[in-house]
Amino acid sequence: MKLNRRKFITRLLVAVASIEALFLIKGSVNKVASASATNNLFNAGKASSFDTNKLYPFLTGQFFLKRFEDGGFLAMSFKCTHLGCVVNTNSQTGGFNCPCHASQFNKFGEVLSAPATRPLDYFPITIEKGELLIDTKTPIRRSSFDKSQLTYV
Protein backbone atom coordinates (compact mmCIF):
# COMPACT_ATOMS: atom_id res chain seq x y z
CA MET A 1 0.00 0.00 0.00
CA LYS A 2 1.20 3.48 -0.80
CA LEU A 3 1.79 5.84 2.06
CA ASN A 4 1.15 9.40 1.02
CA ARG A 5 1.73 12.52 3.07
CA ARG A 6 -1.81 12.77 4.44
CA LYS A 7 -1.93 9.18 5.52
CA PHE A 8 1.47 9.48 7.12
CA ILE A 9 0.49 12.54 9.16
CA THR A 10 -2.84 11.02 10.20
CA ARG A 11 -1.17 7.87 11.35
CA LEU A 12 1.49 9.77 13.20
CA LEU A 13 -1.15 11.74 15.08
CA VAL A 14 -3.13 8.61 15.87
CA ALA A 15 0.01 6.93 17.14
CA VAL A 16 0.93 9.86 19.36
CA ALA A 17 -2.62 10.04 20.73
CA SER A 18 -2.67 6.31 21.46
CA ILE A 19 0.62 6.43 23.29
CA GLU A 20 -0.64 9.36 25.33
CA ALA A 21 -3.85 7.47 26.10
CA LEU A 22 -1.85 4.43 27.14
CA PHE A 23 0.20 6.48 29.58
CA LEU A 24 -2.94 8.12 30.93
CA ILE A 25 -4.51 4.75 31.58
CA LYS A 26 -1.34 3.40 33.11
CA GLY A 27 -0.29 6.31 35.25
CA SER A 28 -3.30 8.63 35.34
CA VAL A 29 -2.92 12.37 35.87
CA ASN A 30 -0.77 12.99 38.88
CA LYS A 31 -2.12 15.92 40.82
CA VAL A 32 0.31 16.17 43.70
CA ALA A 33 3.85 14.95 44.01
CA SER A 34 4.87 14.24 47.55
CA ALA A 35 8.31 15.45 48.62
CA SER A 36 9.43 12.47 50.63
CA ALA A 37 8.50 8.82 50.48
CA THR A 38 8.42 8.32 54.24
CA ASN A 39 5.23 10.37 54.43
CA ASN A 40 3.38 7.37 53.18
CA LEU A 41 4.12 5.21 56.18
CA PHE A 42 1.59 5.15 58.98
CA ASN A 43 3.16 4.87 62.42
CA ALA A 44 0.98 2.69 64.62
CA GLY A 45 3.21 2.88 67.69
CA LYS A 46 5.29 0.44 69.73
CA ALA A 47 4.87 -3.19 68.69
CA SER A 48 5.08 -4.29 72.31
CA SER A 49 2.01 -2.24 73.22
CA PHE A 50 -0.30 -4.56 71.26
CA ASP A 51 -1.77 -7.60 72.99
CA THR A 52 -1.97 -10.89 71.15
CA ASN A 53 -5.31 -12.13 69.82
CA LYS A 54 -6.71 -8.64 69.64
CA LEU A 55 -7.98 -6.34 66.95
CA TYR A 56 -7.10 -2.67 66.80
CA PRO A 57 -9.01 -0.39 64.42
CA PHE A 58 -7.05 2.52 62.90
CA LEU A 59 -9.74 4.49 61.14
CA THR A 60 -7.47 7.34 60.07
CA GLY A 61 -5.09 4.84 58.48
CA GLN A 62 -8.06 2.99 56.99
CA PHE A 63 -7.03 -0.41 58.37
CA PHE A 64 -7.56 -2.93 61.14
CA LEU A 65 -4.45 -4.15 62.89
CA LYS A 66 -4.76 -7.72 64.09
CA ARG A 67 -2.22 -9.40 66.37
CA PHE A 68 -2.65 -13.16 66.30
CA GLU A 69 -1.91 -15.68 69.06
CA ASP A 70 1.62 -16.29 67.83
CA GLY A 71 2.42 -12.56 67.92
CA GLY A 72 2.19 -12.02 64.15
CA PHE A 73 0.78 -8.72 62.88
CA LEU A 74 -1.64 -8.31 59.97
CA ALA A 75 -2.88 -4.90 58.79
CA MET A 76 -6.08 -5.40 56.83
CA SER A 77 -7.69 -2.69 54.76
CA PHE A 78 -11.15 -1.76 55.99
CA LYS A 79 -12.44 -1.49 52.42
CA CYS A 80 -14.79 -4.28 51.44
CA THR A 81 -13.46 -6.07 48.35
CA HIS A 82 -16.93 -6.21 46.84
CA LEU A 83 -17.61 -2.55 46.09
CA GLY A 84 -15.49 -0.60 48.52
CA CYS A 85 -17.71 0.11 51.52
CA VAL A 86 -16.18 0.27 54.99
CA VAL A 87 -16.57 -3.01 56.88
CA ASN A 88 -17.53 -3.16 60.56
CA THR A 89 -16.10 -5.52 63.15
CA ASN A 90 -18.28 -8.43 64.14
CA SER A 91 -17.69 -9.37 67.76
CA GLN A 92 -19.35 -12.78 67.37
CA THR A 93 -17.18 -14.15 64.59
CA GLY A 94 -14.18 -11.99 65.43
CA GLY A 95 -14.30 -11.01 61.76
CA PHE A 96 -15.95 -8.29 59.72
CA ASN A 97 -19.34 -7.53 58.22
CA CYS A 98 -20.03 -5.19 55.34
CA PRO A 99 -23.08 -2.96 55.78
CA CYS A 100 -23.59 -2.43 52.06
CA HIS A 101 -24.35 -5.81 50.53
CA ALA A 102 -23.86 -8.10 53.51
CA SER A 103 -20.52 -9.72 52.71
CA GLN A 104 -18.90 -11.37 55.72
CA PHE A 105 -15.23 -11.94 56.42
CA ASN A 106 -13.49 -14.04 59.08
CA LYS A 107 -10.70 -12.88 61.39
CA PHE A 108 -8.09 -13.49 58.68
CA GLY A 109 -10.11 -11.33 56.31
CA GLU A 110 -11.23 -14.30 54.21
CA VAL A 111 -14.71 -14.36 52.69
CA LEU A 112 -17.34 -16.14 54.77
CA SER A 113 -20.24 -15.15 52.59
CA ALA A 114 -20.63 -13.55 49.14
CA PRO A 115 -21.00 -11.24 47.19
CA ALA A 116 -17.35 -10.39 47.92
CA THR A 117 -15.05 -12.70 45.98
CA ARG A 118 -11.64 -12.18 47.60
CA PRO A 119 -10.27 -11.56 51.11
CA LEU A 120 -9.68 -8.07 52.46
CA ASP A 121 -6.47 -6.53 51.11
CA TYR A 122 -3.58 -6.14 53.52
CA PHE A 123 -0.80 -3.57 53.89
CA PRO A 124 2.91 -4.34 54.24
CA ILE A 125 4.27 -3.75 57.74
CA THR A 126 7.86 -2.96 58.63
CA ILE A 127 9.17 -2.74 62.14
CA GLU A 128 11.77 -0.10 62.90
CA LYS A 129 13.16 0.53 66.37
CA GLY A 130 10.24 -1.47 67.76
CA GLU A 131 7.66 0.72 66.01
CA LEU A 132 5.13 -0.57 63.50
CA LEU A 133 5.21 1.28 60.19
CA ILE A 134 2.32 0.48 57.86
CA ASP A 135 2.48 1.28 54.17
CA THR A 136 -1.15 2.30 53.68
CA LYS A 137 -0.57 3.39 50.08
CA THR A 138 0.07 -0.07 48.68
CA PRO A 139 -2.75 -2.50 49.44
CA ILE A 140 -1.86 -6.07 48.49
CA ARG A 141 -4.46 -8.37 46.94
CA ARG A 142 -4.58 -12.02 47.95
CA SER A 143 -6.76 -15.03 47.24
CA SER A 144 -6.49 -16.56 50.70
CA PHE A 145 -4.72 -16.13 54.00
CA ASP A 146 -1.35 -17.67 54.67
CA LYS A 147 1.37 -17.24 57.27
CA SER A 148 3.71 -15.33 54.99
CA GLN A 149 1.38 -12.34 55.20
CA LEU A 150 2.16 -11.91 58.90
CA THR A 151 4.94 -9.70 60.26
CA TYR A 152 6.84 -10.61 63.42
CA VAL A 153 8.94 -8.51 65.76
Cα–Cα distance measured from residue 18 to residue 148, given in angstroms and rounded to the nearest whole number: 40
**Residue 121 contacts residue 140 (beta carbons within 8 Å):** yes
* Out of 79, 112, 124, 131, the residue judged to bind other proteins by CB under 8 A: 79
Q: How far is the CB of 152 from other proteins (least distance, A)?
A: 28
* Out of 101, 126, 128, 130, the residue judged to bind other proteins by CB under 8 A: 101
Instruction: Between 98 and 125, name the residue whose CB sits nearer to other proteins.
Output: 98
140 binds other proteins (CB under 8 A): no
Q: Is 60 exposed, middle or buried (0-12, 13-18, 19+ CB in 10 A)?
A: exposed
3-state secondary structure of 58: strand
Instruction: Between 76 and 150, name the residue whose CB sits nearer to other proteins.
Output: 76
- Among 152, 132, 148, 138, which residue's Cα sits nearest to residue 37? 138
Q: How far is the CB of 96 from ligand FES (least distance, A)?
A: 10
- Residue numbers of the site for other proteins (CB under 8 A)? 24-26, 28-29, 31, 59, 62, 79, 82-86, 98-102, 114-115, 117, 137, 139
